[in-house]
């Protein structure tokens, strides 16, 4: 029975050719736009891909599935290489695999057999939509990162870069970032401010979350709304309010003024993550520790903190990212001697456009990816500890 369920029959040409033709038309949009004729690209891409798919599927024996798969990939990869060099080779190979995947009905191999065609269509359409949204969001990063290796002082891809010529790539902008005093001072200021602001955010945010998690606290919903309002209020309004308040107490333009401002911005993230961790916390453990004679401080550090530590660290990482990437508030509260890395990048965009800014952005993206990966690992660990997911 399992062999019957896993067997997938070859799709008819009346189904395969329109589907691969539509994929070819979609790819032709970009090729045609690059050559000045979008309509010609759509029509040409659809006809070319459909014709190649027809030739490939009628000339390769379909009873040898592995041979068929590699033959499809090879035919289209070679065709792409002839028309578009290395990028064409990659795209052609992907189209060859796609035609095999559609023509041999492999798209149904991992789905339950009773799904209707409409359900199968929605299954993949939903994933395509999610993928398109992801690509739309991630494209700016994918553009910035290669440009940071540009050998020229341009914010555009040079012909050498498009040809993947090694002479078109260089690390000189990263060397400038690591040796230029303006950039190194900005990095140093960020590293001086962000850890201290994070420590304050974690300390105050954790205590606030624990206090608001108590059932006897009056008006805790209103207090929570006030504490996390900074995540909703436009940042320019918060920065303006901080400036007028801090100027009254004389800490505008000082180190501690910037630290306190960044700590205020990071507290809501800590409150939210720690509160989410406390949802599954077993309060009988606290009562048991009190019955054994432990004072509240000992109970907190020996019982409660180890269980909520993943949430605390996650909130701290979010607070650190917020402080390290923030530019609006530091422009209002900071000074020329306290220019942080984002402020230096913003100033560079206004005064001197240099790809060094792209190198700095790429480094920040790498740091953010590492920190967010850590947050996700901590979240999963927290769920395992609280028994909300399998180990």
51-60, long-range: CB < 8 A, 24+ apart: 52/76, 52/79, 53/16, 53/17, 53/20, 53/21, 53/99, 53/103, 54/13, 54/17, 56/96, 56/99, 57/13, 57/16, 57/99, 57/103
CATH number of the domain to which 297 belongs? 1.10.3720.10
Does the pLDDT at position 389 exceed 80? Answer: no
Specify if 55 maps to a domain: yes
Residue 198's pLDDT is what?
93
Q: Between helices 356-385 and 305-325, what is the axis angle to 10°? A: 170
pLDDT digit string (tens) for 62-73? 556 667 677 777
Domain boundary among 93, 114, 135: 114
Specify if 166 maps to a domain: no
One domain for residues 71 and 186: no
Specify if 141 maps to a domain: no
Span of 18-32, 43-57, 61-75 with lowest mean pLDDT: 61-75
Specify if 162 maps to a domain: no
The model carries a pTM of: 0.67
One domain for residues 243 and 106: no
* Distance from C-alpha of 307 to C-alpha of 377, rounded to nearest angstrom: 15
Span of 202-216, 316-330, 348-362 with lowest mean pLDDT: 348-362
Domain extent, residue 373, equals 180-385
Residue 375's pLDDT is what?
75
The residue with greater pLDDT, 255 or 82, is: 255
Residue with tokens 């004072």, as numbered in its chain? 295
Specify if 123 maps to a domain: no
* Domain total of the chain: 2
Specify if 168 maps to a domain: no
The residue with greater pLDDT, 60 or 8, is: 60
Specify if 46 maps to a domain: yes
Domain boundary among 114, 142, 172: 114
Specify if 163 maps to a domain: no
* 73, 98 Cβ separation under 8 angstroms: no
One domain for residues 92 and 200: no
One domain for residues 235 and 360: yes
Domain boundary among 63, 94, 114: 114
Does the pLDDT at position 379 exceed 80? Answer: no
Helix (H, G, I), strand (E, B) or coil at 211: helix
One domain for residues 96 and 228: no
Does the pLDDT at position 391 exceed 60? Answer: no
One domain for residues 211 and 336: yes
pLDDT digit string (tens) for 64-106? 666 767 777 777 788 777 766 676 777 777 777 777 777 667 7
pLDDT digit string (tens) for 329-364? 988 888 878 888 888 888 877 776 778 888 888 888
């Amino acid at each position: 029975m399992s062999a019957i369920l896993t067997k997938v029959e070859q799709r008819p040409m009346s189904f395969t050719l329109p589907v691969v033709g539509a994929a070819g038309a979609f790819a032709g949009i970009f090729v045609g736009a690059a050559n000045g004729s979008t309509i010609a690209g759509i029509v040409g891409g659809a006809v070319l891909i459909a014709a190649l798919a027809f030739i490939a599927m009628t000339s390769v024996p379909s009873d040898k599935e592995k041979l068929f798969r590699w033959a499809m990939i090879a035919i289209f990869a070679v065709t792409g290489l002839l028309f578009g060099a290395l990028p064409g080779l990659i795209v052609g190979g992907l189209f060859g695999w796609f035609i095999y995947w559609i023509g041999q009905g492999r798209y149904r191999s991992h789905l339950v057999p009773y799904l209707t065609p409409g359900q199968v269509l929605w299954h993949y359409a939903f994933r395509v939509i999610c993928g398109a949204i992801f690509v739309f969001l991630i494209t700016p990063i994918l553009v910035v990162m290669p440009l940071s290796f540009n050998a020229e002082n341009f914010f555009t891809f040079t012909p050498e870069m498009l040809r993947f010529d090694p002479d078109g790539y260089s690390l000189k902008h990263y060397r400038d970032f690591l040796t230029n005093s303006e950039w190194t001072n900005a990095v140093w200021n960020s590293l001086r401010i962000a850890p201290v602001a994070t420590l304050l955010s974690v300390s105050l945010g954790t205590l606030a979350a624990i206090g608001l998690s108590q059932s006897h606290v009056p008006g805790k919903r209103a207090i929570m709304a006030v504490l996390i309002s900074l995540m909703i209020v436009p940042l320019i309004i918060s920065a303006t309010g901080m400036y007028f308040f801090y100027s009254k107490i004389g800490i505008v333009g000082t180190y501690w003024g910037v630290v306190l401002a960044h700590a205020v911005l990071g507290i809501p993230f800590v409150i939210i993550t720690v509160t989410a961790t406390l949802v599954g916390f077993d309060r009988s453990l606290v009562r048991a520790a009190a019955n054994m004679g432990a004072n509240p401080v000992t109970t907190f550090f020996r019982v409660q903190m180890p269980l909520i530590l993943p949430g605390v660290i996650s909130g701290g990482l979010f607070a650190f990212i917020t402080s390290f990437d923030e530019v609006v508030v530091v422009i209002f509260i900071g000074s020329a001697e306290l220019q942080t890395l984002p402020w230096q990048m913003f100033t560079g965009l206004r005064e001197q456009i240099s790809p060094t800014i792209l190198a700095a952005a790429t480094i920040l993206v790498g740091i953010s990816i590492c920190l967010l990966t850590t947050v996700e690992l901590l979240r999963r660990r927290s769920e395992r500890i609280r028994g909300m997911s399998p180990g």
